[in-house]
Amino acid sequence: MTNELRTVLRNSFNKETFIFSGDADDPEVARFDVILGIGGTGGGNALVHVHPRAEERFMVTSGRLIVSVDGHAQSISPGEDAVVPVGSPHCFANGWEGETTFTVEFRPAQQHLLFFANFARLTAEHPEWFSAKGDPHFRLIAVSLNQFADHLYLARPSPTLQKLIFAAVAPIARLSGYRPEVRPIHDER
């Protein structure tokens, strides 16, 4: 039995539309489409971050995407792709004056479909948990990244230190009402 997601979620802070249409249980690959509006991803994903256990691939279908990996920016056009190796600090943004559409893949899949669906839903259901620029409040980061351990961390401080901090702050965040809207299907630890 598969857990199919067929959902479109808009993150108005970052001008991102996520189109989820894949098997959330596929252990090999998590794949979803993203549409970035003009100036898209000015918040959340513009923060330099790492995926400590998964490779990320961006495949552009229209527009232009700027992907920065280890401090080196590259412009990706339709038909081109960029690969972010496991654990490499990176961020991305729309690279032109129109919409940019691309597909994102994570290998192995972990539960990246659910992780990104969680943040996209939270921007719509709890905008007060985000800054005006779209950055999630620290307590939301703590509870979400603790719940989805080893999916995403900020580039600094080290993931080990972030795990310790998030484990300590997550219970306090939950007591103040912060919680993921989409939870992992199973614990991967």
Q: Is the confidence at residue 170, as pLDDT, over 90? A: yes
Domains and CATH numbers, the chain: 4-175 (2.60.120.10)
Spatial strand order in the sheet of 55-62: 4-11, 16-23, 30-36, 100-107, 55-62, 81-84
Predicted local confidence at residue 51, as pLDDT: 95
Q: How many CB atoms lie within 10 A of CB 108?
A: 14
Query: pLDDT band at residue 158, thresholds of 50, 70 and 90?
Result: very high
Q: Using the 8-state DSSP alphabet, how is residue 33 labeled?
A: E
What confidence score (pLDDT) does residue 27 get?
A: 87
| Tokens found for residue 75 | 């412009």
Q: What is the dihedral of CA 33, 35, 39, 40, to 10 degrees?
A: -40
- Chain centroid to CA 118: 9
User: Closest Cα partner for 151 from 59, 55, 57, 40?
Assistant: 55
How does residue 1 score in pLDDT terms, banded at 50, 70 and 90? very low
- H helices of 78-181, where? 112-125, 138-147, 159-175
Q: Confidence class of residue 189 from pLDDT cuts 50, 70 and 90?
A: very low
Higher pLDDT, 114 or 164: 164
Q: What does the pLDDT read at residue 184?
A: 73
Least confident residue range of 35-44, 106-115, 128-137, 158-167: 35-44
136-154 residue pLDDT tens: 899 999 999 999 999 999 9
How much is the CA Rg of the chain, to the nearest whole Å?
A: 16
For residue range 15-26, what is the model confidence (pLDDT) as tens digits?
888 898 767 678
Least confident of 35-44, 52-61, 73-82: 35-44
Q: What is the mean pLDDT of residues 75-95?
A: 96
pLDDT attached to residue 43: 56
